[in-house]
Structure 1
C-alpha cells in the first residue's frame, strides 16, 4: 500500500465550543487529498493543511455534477479513546456510487488508512461532550478542465473533518412530515441508490415547500407510480405496523443506508420481525388511522434515529405514537449511540478503535 505523506499545519485553529458548534461549519486543521489520472491510477496520497482546493472554472464537476461523497463519524469514548462506526461499509458504498457515476474506484484499504491517519492527526478535534462527534466527509470530484459530457480523465479524492454537536440538544422530539406529491427524488435505473449531490439538490424545493407549511421533513413517493413510500427527507424510513417493522426495499432508487442496515440487524437480533417490502401511502395512512401504525422513524448518520410524530398527505393527518418517540425507536437510538460511543457492547464488530 502506498505511503501517505504528511504535511502538518504550521498554525493550528481555535477549536469551537462543543456546546454551540453547528453541523458543517467548523473544519479541522488538516485534510486528505489524492489525485487520479487515466493511465496512472490513484496517486500521491497526502495529508495537508486544510484549505482551498484550486480548480479550473471549466472543471467538469461544476458543469456535469460528476461527484460522490460519504458521511461517517468518529466518537470519543468515556476512556478518552476514539473509534469509528462501520467505516469500511462507507468506503464500499462510496465505491458503489463511483461505479454508477463512472468514477474510478478506490483501494478500500488505502481509503480506510487515509481516514484513520487523518482522524489520528486531528484527534484533539474529536469532542468529548456527550452527544457530540467528529463528522467525516470523504468525496471525489471530476477535475478535467473540459466542457463536454463524458467521464473525466482526472479526479480528486478528499477527506475533510468537522466537529458536530448533539443532533438533539434538547432531547429527541418527533418530527412532522409531509408526503410530497409533486416532485420526485429518484427513479429505478437512475442515481437514487448512489450518494451523489444531484440527488440532494433535487430534494431542496420540496423540503422548502414543506418547511413553509410547518413540516420538518418530506416523505418521498416512488417516481413512477407515485404511490409507494421510499425515503423521509434524506434518511431511510421504517414503520412499526402491528408489531412488525416494515421498510421499503433497496430496489435501486433509495440509498442503502448503513444506519438502516444497523437497525435491521439489531431488530432481528431482538426477535422483532422486519420485512423489506413496498408499502403504499394508502396502506400507511390506513394503518395510521386504524391505530395499527405504532411507530415511524427515519434512520441516518446525522440523527441516527429521527422519530416521526405526525404525517400529512393531501389533507389527511395522522398522529403517530401519540406524537412522542415510541419505545422501539428509543431502544434503537439508545443502543446504536451506546455502541458508537462505546457505552454498550458491540456484538456485531461494527466499531473500529483507533
Structure 2
C-alpha cells in the first residue's frame, strides 16, 4: 500500500460556530484527498492537500460522457469524543461495483480505508460535537482523459471531500409527503440503476422539480418497464409496514443497494420482525392504504437515516400512511441506527470502525 503525502493548509479556514446554520454540503473542510490512475502505473500519487478548485480541461471525458461515480458516508463523534465510521467497507465495495458497471477501476479496499482514516484524522477538529451532527464524507471518481469519443478513459482522479453537517431533524422528525411518479423513469434493469453515478440523479431531477412545485418532498419511482412496481425514493430506499409485515422492494438491478437499507433489514430481523424483499406493485400499495393495512412507510439513507412518510399521492389521489405522526417501527429503527452510529448503543453487529 502506497504512502499518503500530506500538505497542510497554511491558514486554516474558520470552522462554523453554529451547526444549525450550516447547510448540507455547502461548507467544506480545509483539506481533500486526491489520487491518480492510469493503466500503466495503476493508482499512484496519493495525497492530502488543501481543498481548492481542480483545473480541468474542457475536453475531459467526464464532462461529455458522464464517466463518474460517487459515495456518501459519515464520521461520527461519540459522547466520549471518539470518532467512528459506520460500515465503511460497505460503501467501499459498493463504489467498486458502481465503477465496474461504468468501466472504472476499483480502489484497493485497504488503500481506500487508509485514505478515509488519514483525511478524517487531519480534519478531526471539523467533526462536530453537537447532538445529531456528523462529518459527511463524499468519495468520488472522474474520468480525466481529454478527447471527444465514446470509450473508457485511461486516466482517472479519485477524490474525497468532507463537510460538517448538522442534524437532519433539528426540530424533530416530521413525516413527509411523497408523489409516486408515473411518467418519467429513473432507471431500468440492465442499466445503471444499482450504481451510484450522477446520470441516475440527473434523470430524476425533472420529476423532483415537478413534485416540489406541488408541495411534495420526494418522488417515489416505479419500475421503468411496466411502470407498476415500486422501486425507490429519489435519494432513499423505501420500506413499508403492511398488515404487520415489513416489505421493501427487492434489489433487481435498478434499485440502489443502500447501506442504511441493508442495516435496517438486519436490525429489524434481529428484533423479530418479518421482512420481505420482493416486488411491490403500486396497486398493492394503494389497496393496502384503502383497507387500512398500510401501517407505516419510511425512507432509508445516509443523510436522513430514516425519514417517515406520512402521505403518498398517486394519480392525484392521496393516501395516508401515518399522517402527521411517526410510526412506532420507524421511530425504533431511527433510534437503533443512530444509537449505534453515535455510540450510544452497543454495536453487536460489528458495524463500527473506530478512527
TM-score interval for Structure 1 and Structure 2 normalised by the shorter chain: over 0.9
Q: How many equivalent residue pairs?
A: 354
Query: Structure 2, unaligned stretches of length 5 or more?
Result: none
Q: Identify the residue that residue 6 of structure 1 maps to in structure 2.
A: 6
Q: Identify the residue that residue 324 of structure 2 maps to in structure 1.
A: 323
Q: Identify the residue that residue 69 of structure 2 maps to in structure 1.
A: 68
Matching of residues 296-335 of structure 1 within 5 Å:
296-335=297-336
Query: Structure 1, unaligned stretches of length 5 or more?
Result: none
Q: Identify the residue that residue 251 of structure 2 maps to in structure 1.
A: 250
Over 6 Å off, 4+ runs: none
| Deviation string, structure 1 residues 33-65 (Cα, Å, up to 9, x no partner) | 000011211101111111111111100000000
Q: Identify the residue that residue 15 of structure 1 maps to in structure 2.
A: 15
Deviation at 1:322, TM superposition (A): 3.5
Matching of residues 70-219 of structure 1 within 5 Å:
70-219=71-220
Matching of residues 27-42 of structure 1 within 5 Å:
27-42=28-43
Deviation at 1:292, TM superposition (A): 0.6
Deviation at 1:31, TM superposition (A): 0.4
Calculate the aligned-residue CA RMSD, in Å. 0.7
TM-score normalized by the length of structure 2: 0.99
- CA–CA distance in structure 1, aligned partners of residues 55 and 214 of structure 2: 41
TM-score normalized by the length of structure 1: 0.99
Residues 38 and 156 of structure 2 are in contact (CA less than 8 Å); yes or no, is this contact kept in structure 1?
A: yes
Residues 175 and 323 of structure 2 are in contact (CA less than 8 Å); yes or no, is this contact kept in structure 1?
A: no
Q: Identify the residue that residue 272 of structure 1 maps to in structure 2.
A: 273
3-state SS of the aligned residue for 1:19? helix
Residues 73 and 138 of structure 2 are in contact (CA less than 8 Å); yes or no, is this contact kept in structure 1?
A: yes
Deviation at 1:232, TM superposition (A): 1.3
| Deviation string, structure 1 residues 146-172 (Cα, Å, up to 9, x no partner) | 111000010000001000011011100
- CA–CA distance in structure 2, aligned partners of residues 173 and 265 of structure 1: 25
| Deviation string, structure 1 residues 163-214 (Cα, Å, up to 9, x no partner) | 0011011100000011101101000000000000000011110001001111
Q: Identify the residue that residue 27 of structure 2 maps to in structure 1.
A: 26
Deviation at 1:315, TM superposition (A): 2.1
